[in-house]
Amino acid sequence: MGILRSGFHFILGTVCGVYVAQNYDVPNIHKLYKTGLVIAKHYEENYRKSKKKDDDDL
């Protein structure tokens, strides 16, 4: 019974996902992920503390 139950849930989820993707404006998650990475890298480059080399000589 476990295989039938999990298989049924998988098929039902797939059918619902296809229906939602075809009939509604679903955002592209991969594109949102890439945009978030670019923004995070931009913040890191601009707001990271600079290393002082003069402190190492003491």
What's the pTM value of the predicted model, to 2 decimals? Answer: 0.48
55 belongs to a structural domain:
no
Contact assessment for residue 37 and residue 31, using Cβ atoms and an 8 Å cutoff:
no
Q: What is the pLDDT of residue 54?
A: 58
Q: Which two tokens stand for residue 48?
A: 């990271």
Residue 25 lies in a domain: yes
The residue range of the domain holding 16 is 2-48
How many separate domains does the chain show?
A: 1
State pLDDT tens for residues 10-52. 999 999 999 999 999 988 899 999 999 999 999 998 888 777 7
What is the separation, in whole angstroms, between the first and last Cα of the chain?
72
Which residue from 3, 30, 28, 21 is spatially nearest to 11, judged by alpha carbons? 3
Query: Within a domain: residue 56?
Result: no
